[in-house]
Chains A and B, each alone.
Chain A
Amino acid sequence: MPALGADMDEGTLLEWLVKPGDEVHKGEVIAVVDTDKAAIEVESFAPGTIERLIVNPGETIPVGTLLATIAEPMAGQVAGKKQRAAGKKAAAAGKPMTPRKARRERTAEPAEPAHLEAGSPLVRHLAEELGVDLERVHGTGHGGAITRADVTLAAATPAPQPGKPTPPRTAAAALARQRVTPIARRLAAELGVDLSGVTGSGPDGAVREADVRRAAEIPAVPRQAPRPAGAVSPAQARLLATRQVTARLMARSKREIPHYYLSDTIDLTRAMAWMHDRNRELAVTERIVPAALLLKAAAVAALRVPALNGFWLDDQFSPGGRVHLGVAISLRGGGLVTPAVHDAADLPPLELMNRLRDLVTRARAGRLRGSELTDATITVTNLGDQGVELVYGVIYPPQVALVGFGKVVERPVAVDGMVGVRPVVVATLAADHRATDGFTGARFLTTMSDLLQRPEEM
């Protein structure tokens, strides 16, 4: 059981996506684990063949517990196979894996582009056209990426018919396969509704809040025995747990990290004009929003000011190298997750935005991957156009910086002795004073501002 967040102590195995004998490659999603925050996809640490699944769906186990054993891939039929455990490092170390360990492991072996498993926009488009659910498609491309051929093949293979007998599944596994919105899941737990008996009315048959409420009204659905007065419902417990994780993490951040704060008002006249010009010519699927440019600028600035991109570990700064941009995403119904867009500095704004959309969709559906939750080297909080003008963030330990964007607003600005109305955004930086000083932080903000004056080059 890997640590899928800085403060995760235990997890519940919801579902195995592999069985003994299956070949897996490094980075392939092999199981779904429920944590305090969300259901998360766990990726294999190593390539090989699944030997034994040790933990059963529904079991809650501490971080570091062996989940399964994987036999190393063998050249030919060599006797005396070595066993290698998924999560071996975490188990051997006896403590949760820190981002640094995760990174060391990645430097030891070339990193797989795990994010490609979600499929390129082209592949996603094809899947949508053919009505193929990408989560059910086995990728054969580089690093397990789903190719167009995989999608075509999946479309040609008939999906299991409801009439045919299917192998019995555990309740937990059935629950994980069913698409259920997080609110609906919580409500179902609260009302004592068995989700496997609920027909979803949402897209792709997703079970929504209203479906659960409807199901709860039908008397035929067996209700749980009334709880003793004063007891906490599972839903309340879940909310409480989410709150506690955030509470512990943020308290740790403020206790350990001497934050310093900087802010700068960035003129977005050129960026917005360039964006509108660009969007005017393009189909809606190719258009971008201001957030895409802001995130891109933050990622490139992190690359150019590497002292802010990485971790504070064992009393020293450990550079992150590549920029995995953590993005704070609020979940409907409460809670916050900060999954990472991998290699964000290398992506064109449109691609960066599409990755972000994909992350938001999966975060809200409770389908994030473990690496996405542990990899971020710097985090951005973007209040968007529904927010306020300025946000000073709290650093996500052990990272050393957090970038905040308020909403884009029109404000009077003096330019060349004249006052004009221009679109501006207030960018802030909260940084760890142990790792950097204000001078470095200021360079980060001015770099972002400079980048946003030349949007066509991003």
Chain B
Amino acid sequence: MNTQQATQAIEEVLGQVAPDADLSALAPDADLRDSLELDSLDFLSFIEGLSKRVGQRIDEDEYQKLATLASASAFIAGRG
């Protein structure tokens, strides 16, 4: 999966978790939780959805790598 595909997958899952969010206005380096007002349960739903969508296990220690759109895309793409 390349970075572009990863970004697309992430945006798709974010759209499910926060249907009202305007993802086109989301800066790549903005904190996802802050910008989209995700609480801890929303964020867990995001991890759950993303893990399923890309078919990769995401451990709790790795949550911090999913803080922004840019870091999350790099993380997902970097794992194959």
Q: Which residues of A contact B (CB under 8 A)?
A: 181, 183-184, 202-203, 206, 208-210, 276, 279-280, 283-285, 287, 289-291, 332-333, 353, 356-357, 360, 384-386
B41 contact from A276, A284, A353, Cβ within 8 A: A353
In contact, B40 and A384 (Cβ under 8 angstroms): yes
In the complex with contacts A210-B22, A291-B40, A203-B51 CB distance below 8 A: no
In contact, A208 and B60 (Cβ under 8 angstroms): no
In contact, A289 and B40 (Cβ under 8 angstroms): yes
Q: Does B29 contact A (CB under 8 A)?
A: no
The residue on A at minimum CB distance from B61 is: A280
Q: How far is the CA of A210 from the CA of B47 in the complex (A)?
A: 24
Chain B neighbourhood of A284, CB < 8 A: 44, 47-48, 51, 57-58
Chain A neighbourhood of B78, CB < 8 A: none
The residue on B at minimum CB distance from A179 is: B19
Q: How far is the CA of A387 from the CA of B38 in the complex (A)?
A: 11
The residue on A at minimum CB distance from B16 is: A203
Starting from the known contacts A290-B40, A360-B41, 11 additional A-B residue pairs (CB-CB under 8 Å) come to: A202-B19, A203-B16, A203-B19, A208-B19, A276-B60, A279-B60, A284-B51, A333-B20, A384-B40, A385-B39, A386-B39
Chain B neighbourhood of A287, CB < 8 A: 44, 60
In contact, B19 and A206 (Cβ under 8 angstroms): yes
In contact, A386 and B19 (Cβ under 8 angstroms): no
Interface size class for chain B? 20 to 34
Report how many A-B pairs have Cβ atoms within 8 Å: 57
Chain B neighbourhood of A357, CB < 8 A: 41, 45
A-B contact pairs, 6 of them (CB 8 A): A202-B16, A280-B61, A285-B48, A287-B44, A289-B40, A386-B37
Write the B1-44 contact mask toward A (1 if CB under 8 angstroms, else 0).
Answer: 00000000000000110111010000000000110011111001
Q: How far is the CA of A289 from the CA of B39 in the complex (A)?
A: 10
Q: How far is the CA of A333 from the CA of B40 in the complex (A)?
A: 18
B20 contact from A181, A283, A285, Cβ within 8 A: A181
Min CB gap B39→A, angstroms? 5
Min CB gap B76→A, angstroms? 14
Q: How far is the CA of A377 from the CA of B37 in the complex (A)?
A: 28
Q: How far is the CA of A23 from the CA of B58 in the complex (A)?
A: 47
In the complex with contacts A332-B20, A386-B34, A280-B59 CB distance below 8 A: yes
5 A-B pairs with least C-beta separation: A289-B40, A202-B19, A384-B39, A279-B60, A284-B48
Chain A neighbourhood of B37, CB < 8 A: 332, 386
Chain A neighbourhood of B34, CB < 8 A: 386
Chain A neighbourhood of B61, CB < 8 A: 280
Q: How far is the CA of A291 from the CA of B39 in the complex (A)?
A: 10
Most chain B beta-carbon contacts within 10 A, residue among A183, A206, A289, A333 = A289
The residue on A at minimum CB distance from B19 is: A202
Q: How far is the CA of A283 from the CA of B58 in the complex (A)?
A: 9
Min CB gap A262→B, angstroms? 25
Min CB gap A271→B, angstroms? 14
Q: Which of B43-80 contact A (CB under 8 A)?
A: 44-45, 47-48, 51, 57-61
Most chain A beta-carbon contacts within 10 A, residue among B33, B47, B60 = B60
The residue on A at minimum CB distance from B44 is: A289
Min CB gap A192→B, angstroms? 20
In contact, A181 and B19 (Cβ under 8 angstroms): yes
